[in-house]
Amino acid sequence: MRWLFSRQPVIDFYHPFAESVKLVIEGQAEPWPMRKKRTGHWIYRLRQKTRRELHGRAYHFQVRHNGDTYTIYDPMAYHTKRHEHGLVSYISNIEYKWQKPRFRPPAFRDVVIYETHLPALSRHQSAEVEDESYRGTYAGAKSHKVLDYLKRLQVAVEFLPLHASDNLLGQDWGYFSTSYHAMRNCYALDESQVNREVMELVDAMHSRGIPVLLDVVFNHGGELWVKAWGEDIVYRKHENGDFCHGSGCGPTIRTEHPHIRETIIKTLLHLVKEYRFDGFRFDLGALHDKQTMLEIDRRLPKHVYLIAEPWALGGVQWGKGDLHRDLAETRWAVWNDDFREPGRTFLVGGGDH
């Protein structure tokens, strides 16, 4: 979903092979036919409907293909919930008035990154929160005492994944994203306002001069992507037709596919524009094809930090040596395991000097 001007939401769904697509919104008597563009995208402008009127309504696409009709939920929805029969997409009002709209992070070379699981900032009893119900939530992470502490450390905060995820596979850590425009409901005080609560958290940190980075997992998962576009588009295969499993967590996402590459980049741009994230850390970034890495660097605003893990269990598309070759003229940085591993060995008493 995207929004046109200030009041008109535009529903945008990619399905190049569909014969017809209709938009079905909860509470509407009839489905609305969508118009196909040459790019394979189907769109519908919701005239005379404001964001507030539509907020919280479930919706899906009625797709006709090869004579059959399918129900597909929006892989680009801003809000999703898991029900008995699977994930459901909901329209969400993402308007927010920023208190610190002009915040810009310091130069990357001057940043010390504090990586944290969001609930860990306020779950423990030692964390002072305004209300006990805030523990382990977006609201708890922006409690005054938590922000005071982070401000004293003079760090940038990098959150483990906050995208909607499957707890059955990714547990509480969030490393099995089901889609990438929706945020995790479980940390919200009000699930229907989850997008706003994430924005309020970033805004509060920016007001204290704290840059905010997000860990993104575009290498596996993507349940709603697969249901919408199919495994052949979303997942990478070997020459023999078997799926690549470079992450150890399921098939590897096919970042080299033009639609997947474009979707990843548009998602990142959305996260920068709407949520004001200052940077991204790419989980198992070596599974992303090199052209996608170059395109991300080219198209994201220049103040955005870009960090990748330069490794994977298999099927890597690039390595640390490429920082001196194809990626040399980009802003890409990598997690430095050449320092991390000896440092960890020394700290636990395994070193001899």
pLDDT tens, 31-51?
999 999 999 999 998 765 667
- What are the extents of the domains in the chain? 2-72, 108-347
Stronger pLDDT, 330 or 47, i.e. the higher one:
330
User: E-strand spans in 190-318?
Assistant: 212-216, 279-282, 305-308
CATH number for domain 108-347, candidates 3.40.50.620, 3.30.465.10, 3.90.76.10, 3.20.20.80: 3.20.20.80
Q: In the chain, what are the helix, strand and coil shares in percent, each to the nearest 5?
A: 30, 20, 45
Q: Measured between alpha carbons, how far is 221 from 314 in angstroms, rounded to an integer?
A: 16
CB hemisphere CA count around 225 (13 angstroms): 31
- pLDDT value, residue 347: 86
- pLDDT value, residue 350: 84
Give the mean pLDDT of the chain: 93
CATH class (in words) of the domain with range 2-72 = mainly beta
Mean pLDDT of 197-213: 98
**100 has pLDDT over 90:** yes
191 exposure class (CB count in 10 Å sphere: 0-12, 13-18, 19+): middle
**DSSP 8-state secondary structure symbol assigned to residue 206:** H
- pTM score, whole prediction: 0.94
Q: Measured between alpha carbons, how far is 190 from 188 in angstroms, rounded to an integer?
A: 5
pLDDT tens, 121-139?
999 999 999 999 999 999 9
- pLDDT value, residue 173: 87
**DSSP 8-state secondary structure symbol assigned to residue 295:** H
**195 has pLDDT over 60:** yes
**4 has pLDDT over 50:** no
- pLDDT value, residue 6: 44
**218 has pLDDT over 60:** yes
- pLDDT value, residue 353: 58
| Secondary structure class of 332 (helix, strand, coil) | coil
Residue 9 pLDDT class (50, 70, 90 cuts):
confident
Q: Note the Cα 255 to chain centre separation in Å.
A: 15
pLDDT tens, 246-289?
999 999 999 999 999 999 999 999 999 999 999 999 999 999 99
- pLDDT value, residue 343: 85
